[in-house]
């Protein structure tokens, strides 16, 4: 998928800001996120490259069950490059922004508590069409419905305690990257096996 230009990203984010504001009728601190996101987008996307960066959060369910390594290994084996990774405790503000699309659901409080039950591990993952690839690897939301072979399908029995979060679009990935990482926490370094991971015309 083509990366967005700065102008396109800005207008998309503007729409998203308005949409979120209208839906929940409250102000979000998205201005800062938008500015940071433009910076990240400029850094990672240029119109000539199909490379994307996406965000994965290894949820408290992954940490408590001791499967961090196994889940991370799946992304590595696929050929995806890890360009950022850290453990952090999610703040109220982070969870509220991150799950703003679920704010009016009766189970919102439960999700919040679940995401703050322990630290999480946030990862920034880079690859061609990686947003879509990682969503496929994660599987559908409900672990009981997720296909065997997917992370949620292999490790999850729950809708809520479903091991991983994965950005659902390139725009969301940009916003989430800025939400969970600072610029110095995202790395650019050569991937020496790149010629064996992709053909020339795929890069
Ligand atoms: N969730 C839940 N109950 C629901 C829907 C969602 O507990 O009925 C939780 C679940 O942990 C999910 C997260 O809220 O991963 C975000 O929901 P979303 O619909 O964005 O699913 P995802 O993108 O994670 O598959
Ligand atoms: Mg989602």
Instruction: State if residue 64 touches ligand 1 by the CB under 6 angstroms criterion.
Output: no
| Segment 91-126, tens digit of pLDDT | 999 999 999 999 999 999 999 999 999 999 999 999
- Does the predicted model carry a pTM greater than 0.75? yes
Among 54, 56, 136, 141, name the best residue to mutate to test ligand 1's pocket (greatest count of ligand atoms within 8 A of Cβ).
141
- Whose C-alpha lies nearest to ligand 1, atom 22? 141
d(C-alpha 17, C-alpha 179), whole Å = 14
The 10s digit of each residue's pLDDT in 47-82 is 457 899 999 999 999 999 999 999 999 999 999 999
Substitution site in 102, 131, 132 for ligand 1 pocket (most atoms within 8 Å of beta carbon):
102
Residue 193 alpha carbon to ligand 2 centre in Å: 31
Structural domains of the chain ordered from first start: 6-188 (3.30.70.141)
pLDDT of residue 35: 52
What integer best gives the mean pLDDT of the chain?
85
Q: Please tell me the predicted confidence (pLDDT) of residue 16.
A: 46
Three-state DSSP class for 123? strand
């Amino acid at each position: 998928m083509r990366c967005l230009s700065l102008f396109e990203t800005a207008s998309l984010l503007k729409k998203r800001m308005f949409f979120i504001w209208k839906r929940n009728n409250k102000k979000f601190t998205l201005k800062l996120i938008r500015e940071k996101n433009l910076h990240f987008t400029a850094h990672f996307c240029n119109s000539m490259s199909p490379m994307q960066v996406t965000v994965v959060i290894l949820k408290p369910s992954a940490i408590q069950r001791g499967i961090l390594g196994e889940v991370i290994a799946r992304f590595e084996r696929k050929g995806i490059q890890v360009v950022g990774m850290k453990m952090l405790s999610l703040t109220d503000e982070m969870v509220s922004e991150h799950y703003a699309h679920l704010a009016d659901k009766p189970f919102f409080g439960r999700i919040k508590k679940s995401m703050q039950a322990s630290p999480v591990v946030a990862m920034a993952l880079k690859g061609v069409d990686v947003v879509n690839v990682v969503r496929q690897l994660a599987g559908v939301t409900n672990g009981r419905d997720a296909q065997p072979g997917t992370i949620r399908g292999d490790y999850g029995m729950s809708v809520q305690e479903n091991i991983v979060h994965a950005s659902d679009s390139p725009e969301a990935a940009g916003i989430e990257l800025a939400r969970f990482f600072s610029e110095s926490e995202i790395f650019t370094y050569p991937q020496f096996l790149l010629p064996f991971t992709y053909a020339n015309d795929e890069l």
